[in-house]
């Protein structure tokens, strides 16, 4: 087993093991989840990272780890294990900081999951290879990666700006991680802007709209 494979395996095993503890230990789960009040008032900043090792249930955990497994290789091959982990944990931190910014006036807001980190890996991979085809188990057709990303961003931005009752998906975390993934790829390999500039521009349209609504139009939850 190569070192990069070993590190990925350890990351997945650590996430699964810590998540399993959280499933059975409610106090542990509540102590290390992302929680706006605990972070801003009690200064428990470690939650910005520890929350990425907790999940709501096995389905949530399995989906994140499978996505990480299927899309990790392109990042590892191009940048190596050190930058892979920099991207993973950078996206995790960025996703939670973005959520903290948006929900800073909602001290009871809480979230868990590696989705922000995994989004960083997923959408960085798509920025590198936007023409690759993606197939989902429940959709028996191949979808161009750039088209999937554009649709996913549009849906996530809409749901974040127009929240629904009982919607427990952390759209802000997904988007924060995805933006970090895009920024990482552009910073590390700026030549991709000329090679994949059209696709990156199309995929970025919903993100630009999000930025306009949040920071210029001042739309907040």
Give pLDDT tens digits for 189-220: 999 989 999 999 999 999 999 999 998 887 55
At 89 the pLDDT is 98
Q: Mean pLDDT across the stretch 180-196?
A: 95
Tell me the pLDDT tens digit for each residue of 83-113: 999 999 999 999 999 999 999 999 999 999 9
CATH architecture of 3-216: Up-down Bundle (1.20)
Per-residue CA distances from 24 to 125, 134, 157 (Å) = 34, 35, 33
Kindly report the pTM of this predicted structure: 0.93
């Amino acid at each position: 087993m190569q070192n990069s494979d070993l590190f990925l395996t350890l990351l997945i095993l650590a996430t699964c093991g810590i998540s399993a503890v959280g499933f059975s230990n409610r106090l542990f789960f509540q102590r290390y989840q992302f929680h706006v009040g605990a972070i801003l008032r009690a200064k428990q900043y470690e939650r910005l990272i520890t929350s990425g090792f907790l999940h709501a249930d096995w389905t949530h955990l399995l989906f994140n780890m499978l996505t990480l497994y299927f899309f990790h290789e392109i990042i590892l091959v191009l940048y190596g294990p050190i930058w892979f982990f920099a991207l993973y944990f950078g996206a995790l931190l960025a996703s939670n900081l973005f959520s903290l910014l948006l929900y800073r006036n909602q001290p009871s807001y809480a979230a868990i999951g590696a989705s922000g980190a995994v989004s960083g890996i997923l959408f960085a991979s798509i920025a590198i290879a936007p023409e690759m085809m993606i197939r989902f188990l429940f959709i028996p057709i191949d979808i161009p990666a750039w088209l999937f990303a554009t649709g996913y961003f549009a849906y996530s931005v809409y749901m974040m700006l127009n929240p629904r009752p009982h919607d427990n998906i952390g759209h802000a975390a997904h988007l924060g991680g995805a933006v970090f993934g895009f920024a990482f790829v552009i910073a590390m390999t700026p030549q991709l802007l000329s090679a994949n500039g059209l696709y990156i521009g199309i995929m970025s349209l919903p993100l630009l709209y999000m930025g306009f609504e949040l920071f210029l139009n001042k739309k907040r939850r």
